[in-house]
Amino acid sequence: MSTAELRPEKAKSAGSPEAVPDVAAAPAPQHRIRILPVLITAIVVAIAAILTWLMWTTYMGTPWTRDGRVRVYVVTIAPQIAGTITELPVKDDQFVHKGDLLMLIDPTDFKIAVQVAQAAVDQTKALADNAQVEAERRQKLGDWASEEERQTFMSRAMAAQATHQQAVANLAQAQVNLKRTRIESPVNGYVTNLQAQLGDYVMVGERRISVVNSDSFWIDGYFEETVLGSIRIGDPARAKLMGYSDVITGHVVGVARGIDIANASPDEAGLAKVDPIFTWVRLAQRVPVRIALDHVPPSIRLIAGQTATVQIDPAPKPAR
């Protein structure tokens, strides 16, 4: 047997010097396996740091808040005259147009009042005209009528004219009251909180019906004071309502110039109330930013009080 054929068998022998390099090389794969988790952890931390920085930059560059509310103007309607409701052609949550009849108060007494006032106007006009003619006649008599007589007839004419003017004013008031028996919607919107029924007797100033002005919806986004410096009037805005996937677009039209401060209210003794704070915690105040709505998708039903997520896209600052 040749020497070349024996060499492989010697490499396999535990006592052979050539077997030592194989034993020393065995730990190398284990060393690489131990480094791998450290590298993965470092990479994950680096990615998280980059994403955090990007999110913070995006937040500061495009302020957003989940604390937004849908707002609207509500017109509260109360009768200006008292009477019985004889017509009530609307129901709760019904849409009405500006000028539509909401309720009619029995106009019978007010029609009679207009007729009586008209008769008083006609009568006082006749008396005033007659008194004026007599006064002018006394003025034309010259010396045939005494100064006292002329003054007396002139005073009668002025008094009759004043009585006529009062009658005209009474007629105007009676006509206004008759017109007030028809309560019409002052805006386009939805009847809400209807508290009247056909046949009810309503009093002056008694709140019975309200109309949500459908043309006045807006959104208030309550932003932290730390981002207000990047928000300007006219900046485009986007809002998403809870429960809807479609986006409402709009623009900033105003930033509130004041919010309630608890520390400014006095106590019963007139002393300022100052709440204790933790020196290491400073909570940013939230300030309302008004968003006018430019486009509302047809799928969205706006309701005052809905929760909205609002994002402002600040316009580029003008170059100096």
Question: Which tokens in the block code for residue 116?
Answer: 């009586």
CA 171/CA 277 separation, integer angstroms: 66
- Residue-level pLDDT at 274: 77
- Per-residue DSSP letters for 151-187? HHHHHHHHHHHHHHHHHHHHHHHHHHHHHTTEEE-SS
The model's pTM is 0.70
107-180 classified as CATH 1.10.287: yes
Domain range list for the chain: 62-73+214-312, 107-180
- Residue-level pLDDT at 30: 57
- Residue-level pLDDT at 126: 94
CA 123/CA 2 separation, integer angstroms: 155
Q: Comparing C-alpha atoms, which of 206, 210, 212 is closest to residue 193?
A: 210
Q: Which residues of the chain have pLDDT under 50?
A: 1-17, 19-20, 23-25
- Residue-level pLDDT at 143: 67
- Residue-level pLDDT at 57: 64
- Exposure string for 69-100, b = 16+ CB within 10 A, e = fewer: bbbbeeeebebebebebeebebeeeeebeeee
Q: Comparing C-alpha atoms, which of 316, 291, 197, 307 is closest to residue 241?
A: 307
- Residue-level pLDDT at 317: 62
Question: Which tokens in the block code for residue 318?
Answer: 């003008």
62-73+214-312 classified as CATH 3.40.50.2300: no
Residue pair 188/215 in contact by the 8 Å Cβ criterion: yes
